């Protein structure tokens, strides 16, 4: 069964470095998603794994064997592209049969495997249809079935759902994960959709400008990101620049332009400049003053988002705070212009040392 090791992988195009010194180990049967801004090198990286692109430096091992010089067809890899590349003159069954056919499998072996793939992807009723009469979702399922029918135990998915509409993407991503887990495959899935990655991955790799920023489980990267870029790129966060005002046994007090936040995290020395971050859904908003330390502010905008209500609140210290509340939990009427109090639970306030390059550059996707 295939594990994947990438050691110091670098890919350069003359003066442009697309991937720089990437080190990553992917375990057998693990489902890993790679996310990052456009142009960060995530597609280049999996194309190096597949053999479509040769790295400038570094070593690629699949199942503990170095494969840098191994041809694409001999790496045991199935590749699914964003642009659905089916043979237009072949029907679904013929497309799925292509891999076993070119490998010289017997008709009986091919028939058994193809039937299994068609049933797994719920394509049995469309087996005689050609790609031009299939929906986008059915075409992509055919492409995945074709990749699997080649006998590959390592599946590379390059934005496989990017060309589909939102509803189809949500349905198909769960089918893909279930299928990969049922077949005990190893998968590397590149996507620009953070929600998609959170829903399917065992671990997520966050990239920026050709480098890995952070690797972790979906819950780790969402609840306790180690890097400011991750806190901004995975989901949403409010960021506040401040200084450590007081360090207690259980809480750190942070001064943000005369208003105070409290965090349960460890912090640098007193008076050190820091960045405090909190997800919008962890900010509590209420009309009435409570005893806990609160920021006062005025709601500037209200946005209905289906399951959530989103508010932008201008605090008295000039900061704009994003707040999200589940629609079903909104028991009070919050309208634009309303005066409100904001509470920041200390356990949800993350602390980071202030970056030398500045906050804006650190969290930028450019």
Mark whether 266 and 146 lie in a shared domain: no
Query: What are the DSSP E strand ranges found in 14-124?
Result: 16-26, 31-35, 57-62, 65-66, 77-80
The tally of domains found in the chain comes to 2
Considering the domain architecture, whether residues 314 and 208 belong to the same structural domain is answered as no
Describe the strand order of the beta sheet including 320-326 as a list of residue ranges: 284-286, 339-343, 295-304, 308-315, 320-326
Dihedral sign from CA coordinates of 88, 102, 191, 199: positive
Strand partners, 235: none
pTM of the entire predicted model: 0.89
* pLDDT score, position 351: 94
The domain boundary, picked from 215, 230, 245, lies at 230
Tell whether 226 and 287 lie within a shared domain: no
Please check whether residues 219 and 323 belong to one and the same domain.
Answer: no
What is the C-alpha separation between 329 and 365, in angstroms, rounded?
Answer: 33
- Indicate if 11 and 91 belong to the same structural domain: yes
| pLDDT given at position 270 | 65
- CB 204: neighbour CB atoms within 10 A? 25
- Supply the angle between the helices 136-149 and 166-182 in degrees, to the nearest 10: 20
- Angstrom CA distances, 233 to 96, 228, 348, 364, stand at 37, 9, 17, 9
Strand boundaries in the chain, DSSP class E: 4-13, 16-26, 31-35, 57-62, 65-66, 77-80, 154-158, 186-190, 203-208, 211-216, 238-247, 252-256, 259-263, 273-278, 284-286, 295-304, 308-315, 320-326, 339-343, 350-353
Which residues fall within 8 angstroms of residue 342, CB to CB, at 6 or more apart? Answer: 283, 284, 285, 294, 295, 296, 297, 313, 315, 321, 323
**Which residue range is the domain that position 73 belongs to?**
4-230
Give the model's pLDDT for residue 113: 83
Comparing CA positions, the residue from 4, 9, 59 lying closest to residue 27 is 4
Tell me if 115 sits within 8 A of 127, measured CB to CB: no
Letter string b/e over residues 31-54, b meaning 16 or more CB atoms within 10 A of that residue's CB: bbbbbbbeebbbbbbbbbbbbebe
Give per-residue burial for 331-352: e unless 16+ CB within 10 Å, then b: eeebeeebebbbebebebbbbb
| Whether residues 209 and 248 fall in one domain | no
| Residues of the chain with confidence (pLDDT) below 50 | none
For the chain, how many residues are written? 366
End position of a domain, from candidates 230, 245, 272? 230
CB atoms within 10 A of CB 107: 10
Residue 88 and residue 116 in contact, taking contact as beta carbons nearer than 8 Å: no
Q: Check whether residue 185 and residue 153 sit in a common domain.
A: yes
Domain finish residue from 230, 259, 282:
230
The residue whose two tokens read 């401040």 is: 242
Lookup: tokens for 226: 């180690």
Asked if residue 258 and residue 203 are part of one domain, the reply reads: no
Q: What is the CA radius of gyration of the chain?
A: 25
CATH number at residue 221: 3.40.50.300
**Is 263 found in the same domain as 192?**
no
Q: Are residues 213 and 271 both part of a single domain?
A: no
At 244, which CATH number? Answer: 2.40.50.100
Triad 309, 311, 316: Cα angle to 5°: 155
Statement to judge: residues 133 and 34 lie in one domain: yes
Q: Are residues 78 and 215 in the same domain?
A: yes
């Amino acid at each position: 069964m295939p594990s994947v090791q990438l050691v110091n992988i670098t890919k350069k195009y003359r003066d442009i470095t697309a991937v720089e010194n990437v080190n990553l180990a992917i375990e057998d049967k693990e489902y890993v998603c790679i996310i990052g801004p456009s142009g960060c090198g995530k597609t280049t990286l999996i194309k190096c794994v597949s053999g479509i692109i040769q790295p400038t430096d570094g070593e690629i091992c699949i199942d503990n064997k170095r494969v840098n010089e191994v041809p694409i067809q001999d790496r045991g890899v199935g590749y699914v592209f964003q642009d659905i590349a089916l043979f237009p003159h072949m029907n679904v069954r013929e497309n799925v049969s292509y891999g076993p056919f070119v490998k010289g499998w017997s008709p009986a072996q091919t028939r058994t495997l193809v039937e299994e793939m068609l049933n797994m992807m719920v394509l049995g009723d469309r087996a005689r249809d050609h790609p031009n009469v299939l929906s986008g979702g059915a075409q992509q399922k055919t492409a995945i079935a074709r990749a699997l029918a080649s006998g590959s135990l390592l599946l590379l998915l390059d934005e496989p759902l990017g060309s589909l509409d939102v509803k189809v993407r949500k349905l198909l991503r769960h089918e893909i994960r279930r299928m990969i887990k049922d077949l005990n495959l190893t998968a590397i899935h590149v996507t620009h959709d953070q929600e998609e990655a959170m829903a399917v991955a065992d671990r997520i790799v966050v990239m920026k400008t050709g480098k890995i920023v952070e690797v972790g489980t979906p819950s780790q990267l969402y609840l306790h990101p180690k890097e400011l870029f991750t806190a901004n790129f995975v989901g949403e966060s409010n960021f506040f620049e401040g200084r450590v005002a007081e360090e207690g046994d259980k809480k750190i007090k942070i001064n943000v332009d005369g208003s105070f936040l409290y965090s349960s995290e460890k912090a640098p020395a007193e008076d050190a400049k820091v960045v405090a971050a909190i997800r919008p859904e962890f900010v509590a908003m209420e009309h009435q003053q409570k005893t806990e330390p609160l920021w006062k502010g005025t709601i500037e905008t209200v946005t209905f988002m289906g399951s959530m209500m989103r508010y932008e609140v201008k605090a008295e210290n000039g900061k704009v705070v994003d707040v999200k509340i589940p629609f079903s939990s909104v028991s009070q009427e919050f309208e634009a212009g309303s005066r409100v109090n904001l509470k920041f639970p200390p356990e949800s306030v993350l602390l980071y040392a202030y970056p030398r390059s500045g906050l804006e550059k650190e969290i930028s996707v450019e």
